[in-house]
Amino acid sequence: MKKDSCNIIIIFGATGDLTKRKLFPSLNGIYNSKNLPDNLRIIGCGRKDIEGDIFVDLHENISKSCEYLKVDPSDKDDFISLSKKVKEIENIYNNVNIIYYLSTPPSAYLPIINNLISNNLNKEDIGFKRIIIEKPFGNDLDSSKELNKVLSTGFNESQIFRIDHYLGKETVQNLLVSRFTNFMFNALWDRNNISYIEITAAESIGIKDRGEYYDKSGAIKDMFQNHLLELLCLVAMEEPKVKTAESIRNEKVNVLNNIRKINCIDDVIRGQYLASESSIKKFKSYKENKGVEKNSKTETFFACKLFIDNDRWKDVPFFIRTGKRLPTKVTEIVVNFKKNNNIFSSQNQNNTLIFRLQPDEGMLVKFNLKKPGHKSEIISKNLEFHYKKLGKNVINNAYETLILDVFKGDTMLFSRSDFVEKAWGIVDPISKKIESNKIKLYGYKAGTWGPQKCNDLFRNENNWRYPCKNLVNDGEICEL
């Protein structure tokens, strides 16, 4: 008699860095939280035969149900062997659910997908079949369309999970809840009350050992096309009609549809970090990294100003920036409300709302008070909330959240095919201008906030918020 059910994760690229750094620790975390599905088996796949145990970093109660198979993405015979292994398991259980995790270089995606389909490993005969793909989802609009086309020949959109770990962060998920459940925010969330919005994703590290990949990608394709446009959509989208994954994803696509064509000459800034020295250590330039071309023109810093042409946001500028070797690691969204003309102060102060996504996760509101002992002097103070005050371990690991959502079949935190293609449609014109040398590349010293030219995006008295590691310490000088 067959057993009831079994869950399998088949990891392509099981010997790779991503699996070791992210996937295995996340599976351990899910196990420790007692959320791991019953009867879980893991089949790790790699290009070569190996000696030794690649599952040694997994909890022993997980690793005892793991095995390794040599599966080269382009070797049809290897996929026949994989198919036989799956059939063996299906002969034991009435219900077999399988997740294919493509933890490989993007060049392996198409051959893996084609071989899965040709061996009927996509068929949901006695259980679900779902496929997880890591970014980048293509390198431009044409390649993203090709990837989506191949996927659609064997998988429904509900089976496809394009993973972006940013969307698994608790603080990112909280953006929509904070917006739509708090009347004091929701009622003011439009062009009549908001002056401009900043989205910053800064990293203090360099490119580490990713030189060969990064030099072909750069900050625009590595961060702006996915993470930052996703954050933009969460900030700018309309309230979904219903609380479903498709309704939310529809509204995100609507935002991308309404983004005005970016002025690549005046509203885009690119930079590349140069060697520098702080009081603590020396930093080499981007071009000194292994795998980087000596005359590389790849940007490690990107900033732009864009507009969303709809009733809610018409003519409200959104300023977006991201970069490597900046003063601190921080991801945050800054909502700058319009200045308030009043009889109590000639300075017409404004209010600011900050969503801190990492680190020191939380929210901060800047508001105005009368300075004690002074009838007409106004001071700005902070009203703050920190997630850490809710207790320990309230911020879940993003990968744990997303992997569990794949088991549940919940697609809300994953990118849909039309979103990916719309995002590339925004990025491609910028890339073409870069290829034709129409957008300058500025140098900036490692440890600074990017090229000085970045401040020119505002073209008025406004400027970027310069955050430090701690949520409330804005405006301070951070040193690497």
Measured CA to CA, the distance from residue 116 to residue 79 in angstroms comes to: 7
Structure-token match 């404004």, residue found: 350
For residue 227, indicate whether it is catalytic: yes
Pair of tokens at residue 480: 């690497």
Three-state DSSP at 391 gives coil
Positive or negative torsion for Cα 454, 457, 462, 465: negative
| 400: nearest Cα among 34, 126, 130, 73 | 34
Residue of 226, 107, 252 whose CA lies nearest to 165: 226
DSSP classification of residue 74? T
Q: What is the largest CA-CA distance in the chain?
A: 85
Within 10 A of 386 (CB to CB), how many other CB atoms are there? 15
Q: Are strands 330-337 and 194-202 parallel, antiparallel or unpaired?
A: antiparallel
Give the torsion through C-alpha atoms of 272, 277, 278, 282, to 10 deg: 100
Neighbours of 23 (CB within 10 A): 24
Q: What contacts 45, CB < 8 A, 6 or more positions away?
A: 10, 11, 12, 13, 14, 68, 69, 70, 71, 82
**Residue the block writes with tokens 């911020």:** 395
Considering Cα of 295, then 301, then 305, then 307, what sign does the dihedral take?
positive
176 phi, psi to nearest 5 deg:
-65, -40
- Residues 6+ away with beta carbon under 8 Å from 461: none
Tokens of residue 118, six digits: 């040709």
Sheet holding 160-163, edge to edge: 66-70, 40-46, 3-12, 93-102, 129-134, 160-163
Question: Dihedral of CA 41/46/49/50: which sign?
Answer: negative
Neighbours of 303 (CB within 10 A): 28
Judge whether 11 and 101 are in contact, CB under 8 Å. Answer: yes
Distance CA 232, CA 369 (A): 31
> Which CB contacts under 8 angstroms, 24+ apart, belong to 342-349?
344/370, 344/376, 344/378, 345/376, 345/377, 345/378, 347/378, 349/378, 349/380
Catalytic residue among 59, 165, 227, 374: 227
3 state DSSP class of 241: coil
For residue 419, give the DSSP letter: H
DSSP code of residue 158: G
Q: Look-up: residue for tokens 């003309």? A: 341
Q: Hey, which residues are catalytic here?
A: 227
